[in-house]
Chains A and B, each alone.
Chain A
């Protein structure tokens, strides 16, 4: 018995000592000065690699591209610290010549690398010339396709001569999540083969330098530079956290536990259920929205994507019929448990897009009519967002807003009203027939659709796909889901699917220009069946009117108001043609803990940037964060 008693006492002593350790996640750093952030890349296999220009070599959102890198411009997906557009390393906006074959960039003076060397035009020229002569770097191909030459008339000016007109060439150096970062010439020119150069420790342009990192790739710690005043964010003040740690906290449940224990200040994303748990149990946790749906709607639009190289989906009537068989309320409940921000049109309902597209087009949408040949319908129901809010109110109570403007922002505006009668008429006009409860294609085969979903790797989208399959099945279509898991990207890119739940629309968010995704929708980029499709026109849809719109956008400047008009023409075209069925914004359940830090961005009072911490744009968050203790 004495032995057992000894064992028990030892175990209790060990647990007591463990408790002390467990409550302090980081050794040798003051918790009050440290911001702990989830890195959604997880464990980095090659953690000692900081050469971000080497493709796929190490981590990017380990803090490397948020805190250590910099480039000419940033466009904020929300409102921005000082407007949506920020001249970062550049001192002004890009200056194009009349035919967009030349871009001049004026550089900001007084910016220094973390080793004390000044950033000048020589670094830019070196970066571009290195990419011109080296294959296999992350931005080699993009530079080689566009740039004929680069010159530096003085240390603070660079001139790009382009191979052909490109009015959106600056997009390559404008951060929306990331962009092409500038290289320190004085470091890389001595590195030898730069495809094999690890760049450890990195010499940074951002306000932080590398403090330490885990050899197993679980965490990275960055420390505020003593000379942070000589970096671009200094214009907005001193970054709050002295240390920023990016960690791999594990699966969603563990992220929730870690934040409940105040050991993870920013969760990048969790499940809707995890978000609701935190909202209920943690007074210090906050999302983008103060109440439901909490999540930040990313400028990304998940959708039902038809494969237009499959003859089955050639008919517009059929695509519209399928849209009218979807009950978006049920899809919202199934996917996000109601915490979705819906969009009927081909633009994400986020950032400044509602102001430029959703609100101004509401009248057009209300009047929009479908003629089935037998009757005419107005399919748009402007109250669906409100209906979702009303549906959730009994169970969620005060968390559901009642102000119509807030509801529109949080849940979205309207969507297409389910209309099986109109769907029947459209299918019949397209040559489909119904026998008993089952529908048949014009050539007499059973009308079956396989919806490819990602599976457990992206459960929210998978649940959306399953609900849509169920709704189509109830109508008599043989619809099933195919779980692709890790092969989704290959199947999507190679066109190996009938219908897929994914996204083909990503935008700047804060800026109304749609060329970020739309340019790649030009018919010139559509691959032959079976060949790999370049991003982002996964549906491989083409239309002469669309090509015309894209070509007109190419011919005007980035800030030209005509761009918004052309964007609205695109919206009308895709509403008429329904090449894909837009569903909702990609809502990210980023949760921020205010125990140690305050000043996080939020939708109501501080929409100054995207809180989703793997975005390069979150460098602006650092200057707004203040310690609470």
Chain B
């Protein structure tokens, strides 16, 4: 148990270090952007209407004061860390004075909902089909399923997404192609809203599942193909144990450990958002928000999103590290 305690503390130290370095890199990268949020604001405000050149200088100064960009970089760095500690990233510079945390809190449930469902669905389907295909390798149906899964895997995601849009949005227009729910619906736990939510998520989830399925399928099939050659599987087969039991209890279960790790990593990465999915399907999630923030030079918002993402991914890895020795005795604690 003492060994486990040392292991835990070491991993905790690594977690803190990774988060610290990651957030610092984010700060440096965002503050090195050639896009100045003040100039972006001025451009947005003066692009089409009447402009008084003399007024622009005053406007520039006012915006710097308003956005709190007057201090030096180190001053901004200290302010940033003070805010990170209490998870308050200050006001968004492109939607001033809305707080960054409010923008993230509004977008995050959409992304989490979309990606948790699609990731788990892809994982279950991919592993199930991959496991079956690895064990019943003579089955034509499973071979065909494998061909389909692998055919979609190398296609660039956006092509699959646009293909779905054209098929189900135009040629056979049975599914909505944009947004998270129907316009002007009362939000809440009511049937019209929930069913609209479900219907609007079909195309984005299908696109993610189609493209993601092949990876899990191939991984699981290879793992199962190795496990079936193990002595204990051969012994069980010779001993007349039911094949379904062998598959479920001996083969799949032993093959799942690395796949569970992969799942945890994928779930952690959910906080990165699904940028292309959200762009293509107009889904109001964190990826869409991030792209908007980058284009506007809104580094408060970019930093808010990346910080949460860094913490989430690192925390997922940390949890896996903690659980690994408990789940799999073959992983030794040194």
Contact = CB atoms under 8 A, between A and B. Distances in A.
Contacts of A486: 35, 40, 294-297
Contacts of B98: 45-46, 49, 57
A140 B49 contact: no
Interface string B98-110: 1000010011001
B92 interface: yes
Nearest to A16: B174
Interface stretch (A148-156, A228-236, A530-538): A530-538
Interface stretch (B79-87, B114-122, B181-189): B181-189
B1 interface: no
B165 interface: yes
Interface in B150-176: 162, 165-166, 169-170, 173-176
A136 B39 contact: no
A260 B182 CA distance: 18
A232 B23 CA distance: 53
Nearest to A489: B43
Residue among A58, A141, A172 having the largest count of chain B Cβ atoms under 10 Å: A141
A625 B280 CA distance: 32
A629 interface: no
Contact of B175 (A18, A46, A178): A18
Contacts of A217: 284
A42 to B, nearest CB: 7
A22 interface: yes
B183 A247 contact: yes
Nearest to A146: B52
A19 interface: yes
Given A18-B202, A254-B178, A145 B35 contact: no
A135 B58 CA distance: 9
A487 B34 contact: yes
Interface in B34-81: 34-36, 39-46, 48-60, 62-63, 65-66
Interface in A14-33: 14-19, 21-29
Nearest to A171: B50
B106 A491 contact: no
Nearest to B56: A534
Interface string A259-275: 01100000000000000
Given A172-B50, A257-B165, A486-B294, A195 B66 contact: yes
B173 to A, nearest CB: 5
A215 B106 contact: yes
Nearest to A56: B41
Nearest to A503: B47
A144 interface: yes
Contacts of A216: 106-107, 110, 180, 284
Given A22-B173, A487-B34, A490-B36, A56 B44 contact: yes
A462 interface: no
Contacts of B180: 216, 218
B192 interface: yes
A196 interface: yes
Given A56-B44, A493-B39, A140 B279 contact: no
A564 interface: no
B43 A493 contact: yes
A209 to B, nearest CB: 15
Contact of B63 (A55, A258, A489, A536): A55
A177 B49 CA distance: 6
Contact of B184 (A19, A144, A176, A212): A212
Contacts of B162: 253
A249 B282 CA distance: 7
A554 to B, nearest CB: 13
A179 B176 CA distance: 37
Interface string A584-627: 00000000000000000000000000000001000000000000
A29 B182 contact: no
A212 B184 CA distance: 7
B24 interface: no
A395 B56 CA distance: 48
Contacts of B56: 141, 532, 534-535
A609 B115 CA distance: 45
B199 interface: yes
A135 B62 CA distance: 6
B170 A45 contact: no
Contacts of A532: 39, 56, 60
Contacts, number: 224
A28 B196 CA distance: 13
A54 B91 CA distance: 14
Nearest to A517: B51
Given A26-B182, A215-B187, A486-B35, A141 B177 contact: no
A506 interface: yes
A257 B166 contact: yes
Nearest to A46: B95
B292 interface: yes
A536 B51 contact: yes
Nearest to B66: A136
B221 interface: no
A534 B55 CA distance: 9
B182 A218 contact: no
Contact of A214 (B41, B166, B183): B183
Given A140-B62, A257-B166, A218 B34 contact: no
Given A21-B199, A141-B58, A250 B192 contact: no
Contacts of A7: none
Contacts of A490: 34-36, 39-40, 297
Interface string A151-189: 000000000000000000001101011110000000000
A76 B280 CA distance: 35
Given A195-B97, A251-B280, A219 B35 contact: no
B289 interface: yes
Contacts of A260: 170
B88 to A, nearest CB: 16
Contact of B35 (A24, A487, A534): A487
A138 interface: yes
A247 B195 CA distance: 21
B179 A218 contact: yes
B41 A221 contact: no
B213 to A, nearest CB: 17
A177 B48 contact: yes
Residue among A45, A140, A176, A212 having the largest count of chain B Cβ atoms under 10 Å: A45
B46 A535 contact: yes
A245 interface: yes
Contacts of B184: 26-29, 212, 219, 221, 245
Contacts of B50: 171-172, 174, 176, 179, 516
Interface in B269-314: 279-282, 284, 288-289, 292, 294-297, 301
A45 B280 CA distance: 18
A440 B84 CA distance: 54
B94 interface: yes
A144 B55 contact: yes
Given A58-B95, A179-B49, A141 B62 contact: yes
B176 A56 contact: no
A407 B187 CA distance: 52
A547 interface: no
17 contacts: A14-B199, A29-B184, A43-B292, A46-B98, A49-B98, A141-B55, A141-B59, A174-B50, A196-B97, A214-B183, A216-B110, A245-B183, A249-B282, A493-B39, A493-B42, A535-B46, A615-B48
Given A43-B282, A57-B96, 16 more contacts: A18-B175, A43-B292, A46-B95, A49-B98, A56-B41, A135-B65, A135-B66, A178-B49, A195-B66, A218-B282, A221-B184, A245-B183, A261-B173, A489-B39, A534-B51, A615-B48
Shortest beta-carbon contacts, A-B, top 6: A177-B48, A141-B55, A46-B95, A534-B53, A216-B284, A141-B58
